Amino acid sequence: MSSNAIEIRGLRKTYRGSKGQPEKQALKGIDLDIPQGSVFGLLGPNGAGKSTLINILAGLVVKTAGQVTIWGFDQDVNPRQSRASIGVMPQELNLDAFFTPRAALDVQAGLYAVPKSQRRTDEILKLIGLEDKADAYARTLSGGMRRRLLLGKALVHAPHILVLDEPTAGVDIELRQMLWTNIRKLNDEGMTIILTTHYLEEAEEMCDEIAIINQGEVVARDSKTNLVNRIDAKTMVIHAEETVTTLPEAPGITVETRPDGAVALSYHAHQTSAEQVLAAVRDAGISIRDVKTEEADLEDVFLELTRS
């Protein structure tokens, strides 16, 4: 087997139009490798195609064309093995109101043919912090508890790969922390994690590899560090000793005054050196009291790549 947990080639999905709606090309030929052991982020705005991609991996949506290999198993050739390799926490709550968490986990284990002796129901209840609620009906659980139960269900068959679709959209800070702690722990134990998010901060904090999806296409795929480095826009922010009357001027440098009186000089590091920027400042007769630099973050990369 290759070192990729998932390999996707030429993946397309066209949803048929209904009730006079035109058909929708949700995925337009995706090629993507997701390395084993990574925390991989699928980042993109609403409607980009993230859930469609995840649901195809999960076997919940039927692809229109292309090839998906999960843990070395072609989804079409070895559907059972490929499904057994992956656990998915869906974006939508889809719990049976009349099941208790314990029952929901048992039923899920049964669906995946996990033998009774190998079930880890209590361990999972503990991991998701629902030991106290193990025997309460799902309809009596809070929204946060239900989401935790969804995570538990995704784990019953001890998959190699855990996929989380917008795990923290609309959840409170406490639940978010709990999810992150669990995800890091599972990843430390060797599980490959794939998560979708439209929150840049989340991708920046959690993921080591990122694919940016926009309108059904992968527009960037790199390590987080490389993605951020790709944009070499920098800004030097100068606080002067005295009120600035003459603004610096130099080719390749964009100058603006900030509301607090600071002078912000934006430039591209591959074109202009910090020394050239400082020289322009000195030439304008400004004596520097304080200087800071601001670098691009993932948001800049994202905006640049998803600008349509």
Give residues in contact with ligand ADP (CB under 6 A): 15, 24, 26, 44, 46-52
Choice between 93 and 97, CB closer to ligand ADP: 93
Nearer to ligand ADP (CB atom), residue 27 or residue 162: 27
Please choose which of ligand ADP, Mg ion, none residue 168 contacts, taking the beta carbon within 5 to 8 angstroms, the exact cut-off set by kind.
none
Q: How far is the CB of 105 from Mg ion (least distance, A)?
A: 25
Question: Pick from ligand ADP, Mg ion, none: which does 30 bind, CB < 5 to 8 A by kind?
Answer: none
Which of 108, 214 has the CB closer to ligand ADP? 214
Q: Are 216 and 49 in contact (CB under 8 A)?
A: yes
Of 28-36, 47-55, 141-149, 214-222, which segment contacts Mg ion by CB under 5 A?
Answer: 47-55
**What would the two tokens of residue 224 be?**
């987080």
Structure tokens at 251: 């080719």
44 binds, among ligand ADP, Mg ion, none (CB under 5 to 8 A by kind): ligand ADP
Out of 38, 40, 44, 51, the only residue in the binding site for Mg ion (CB under 5 A) is: 51
Task: Write down the H helix ranges in 222-296.
Answer: 224-230, 274-283
Contact 106, 118 (CB under 8 A): no
Smaller CB distance to ligand ADP: residue 26 or 236?
A: 26
- What 124-130 contacts at long range (C-beta under 8 Å, 24+ apart), as own/partner pairs, is 124/152, 124/155, 124/156, 125/101, 125/152, 127/152, 127/155, 127/182, 128/152, 128/182, 129/178, 130/101
Question: Closest approach of Cβ 196 to Mg ion, in Å?
Answer: 6
Q: Are 8 and 32 in contact (CB under 8 A)?
A: yes
> What is the size of the binding site for Mg ion (CB under 5 A)?
2
3-state SS assignment for residue 201: helix
Backbone angles phi, psi at 293, to 5 degrees: -120, 145
Residue 9 or 24: which CB sits closer to ligand ADP? Answer: 24
